[in-house]
Structure formats: structure tokens, C-alpha cells
Structure 1
Amino acid sequence: MIEYRVDGQPDIVRLITSLTDPEKYPAAELAALYARRWEIELVFDEIKTHQRGRPVLRSQTPDGVRQEIYAHLIVHHATRDLLDEAARLHRSTAERTSFTRALHVLRRTVISPSGFSPLRPQTGPAPRTR
């Protein structure tokens, strides 16, 4: 068992492992890797639970599934990038900003009307009148 604290927090984290050779597997390195693993788990949660919104992918072909997964990863990256930029502008950290809240803001922004009328298709320039 490895006991450690994270960034001066009062709580002690206990990591139980079967890797018992301290020369081959230093405790500090295992603790750091465990923290990184949880960062990855949080990303998976953001994508699967909050971003995707559906329990299954809609695509019917392997290529379509790959494309859909890549799209979700790109959207997640873009959302995280915007969170980092917003945090920088407000002299904060992205970790203190809610991914779910940012995703809702982005969805509202993308879905909102953007100055064109859906009654007239935008297929090209409007015809000129004399």
C-alpha cells in the first residue's frame, strides 16, 4: 500500500498495488501514474456521459463508427481548448471550470440562429433586380 497526499490536500490517498518491488516500481512514480489514470477516466466520463448524450453510436458501419468516435474526440478537444482559453482570460484554471456547463454554452451558441432566414434557401447569391 502506498499512502500520499495530493497537492497539500489534507486527505490521504491510499493506493493498493500488486507491484511490490520498490526499486522497479518507485512509490512516487506509481502515485503519479495513478493520478494520470484518473485524469484519463475523467475525460472518458466527459465524453461518454455528458457530451455524447446517447447510450449508443448511431453509425451502422465500422467506418461510420470510427468517424463518429473521431468527431466526439474532436468536439471534446475543442471544448477543452475553449475552457483553457476562457480560464486564461479570467486568470483561473480550466480544472475549476465545469465541462458540462461549457458544453451547454457551446451547444446553445452553435444551435442559435445566425442571421439567415430558413425560409429562403441559401444556394447562391440573391438574383439581381433592375
Structure 2
Amino acid sequence: WRRFLTNELDPEQLPARYLVALYYRRWTIERAYATIKRLLGLAYFWCGSQNAVELQLWSTWIVYTVLIDLCDEVAGLLKLPFERISVEMVFRSIYYYTKAVERGDVRPLPEYLANRSADLGIVKRKRKNEISMFESWPLTNASNP
């Protein structure tokens, strides 16, 4: 038996380094579904009607999209790659921002999170010998974008 990652067998069309980078990106999708289910509570449906299920699905995906956009903005303010930002900790830190607003802090949410990132645990620790797949193997070729 042989196992294949792709049906494209020509190394000219799909070099091995691109295949590895694409496989790595597959896990981004898996993490997105895990976040949607676990963090945003889509593991269970609140109602059984089709309309209620669709509303819950769409609203959860919209919240997820806003959360990812917020994480991207925080990463930009911190000048870090997106993969170094913890989506879960950004989500959990929104509570602290609401309390800061009640105390009179008027900074925008991304700025607040970027300034308090060390206290809130927003930046993931670098793992020992970590290699960023996106830095080492870009998916675009400079000679053939």
C-alpha cells in the first residue's frame, strides 16, 4: 500500500517544499474548527430548527472572523507574525478590556491588547528550535508568482 498526500505526482508542478507548506497550512483549518467548537461554543446547537441552526452557524463564523481580524491587528501592532498570537487569549482578554473601559480607559481594543500583551499572555512562547514554515518556505516563487 502507498499513501499519497496529493494526486499531483509531477515535481515540476508541485515541488516537495510547497507540498510540505500546504500540508502545514491544513492544520490552520483544523485549528479554526477547533476554536469554533471549543472556544466559541459551536459544539452544540441551541435549537433544532433549521433557521436557528443557520443563525447560530452564521453568527459564530462572523464572531470568529472578527476575532481573527482582531488578532491580525494586534500582531501588526506588535510587529509579529500572526501565528505567534494566541487566538484564545485574545478572546479571553476582551473581558479585561471591558473592565478597563468601565474604569475610563478609552484606548481602542487592539491598542489595549498590544500594550498589555505580556500581562494577558497574548503572544505565544517560542518553542525550542521552532521553524516557521511560512518564513522558511514561502508558497510563492519570485520568478513565477
TM bucket normalised to smaller: 0.5 to 0.7
CA contact 1:80–1:99 (8 Å) conserved in 2: yes
Q: Percent identity?
A: 24
Change (3 A) 1:90 1:20: closer
Distance 1:55 1:63 in 2: 17
CA deviations on 1:77-130 (whole Å, 9 max, x unpaired) are 111111111111111122111111111112454588859xxxxxxxxxxxxxxx
Q: Which residue is 2:33 aligned to? A: 44
Q: Does 1:97 align with 2:85?
A: yes
CA distance in 2, matches of 1:31, 1:50: 28
Normalising by structure 2, we get a TM-score of 0.55
Kept in 2: contact 1:87–1:93 (CA 8 A) = yes
Report the counterpart of residue 58 of structure 1 in structure 2: 46
Shift of 1:55: 3.6
1:23 and 2:7 correspond:
no
The structure with the greater share of residues assigned to strand is 1
Cα 1:55–1:97 shift into 2, 3 Å: same
Cα distance, 1:35 vs structure 2: 2.0
Q: How many residue pairs get matched?
A: 99
Residue 71 of structure 2: aligned partner: 83
Kindly name which structure, 1 or 2, has the bigger radius of gyration based on alpha carbons. 1
Runs of 4+ with deviation above 6 angstroms: none
CA distance in 1, matches of 2:55, 2:98: 20
Q: TM-score, normalised by structure 1?
A: 0.60
Structure of greater relative contact order (alpha carbons < 8 Å, 6+ residues apart): 2
Distance 1:21 1:78, change over 3 A: closer
Q: Which has the higher helix share?
A: 2
Alpha-carbon distance, 1:36 to partner = 2.4
1:65 to 1:84, Cα distance in 2 relative to 1, 3 A? same
- 2:53 aligned partner, one-letter code: V
After TM superposition, the structure 1 stretch with the greater mean CA deviation from structure 2, 73-82 or 86-95, is: 86-95
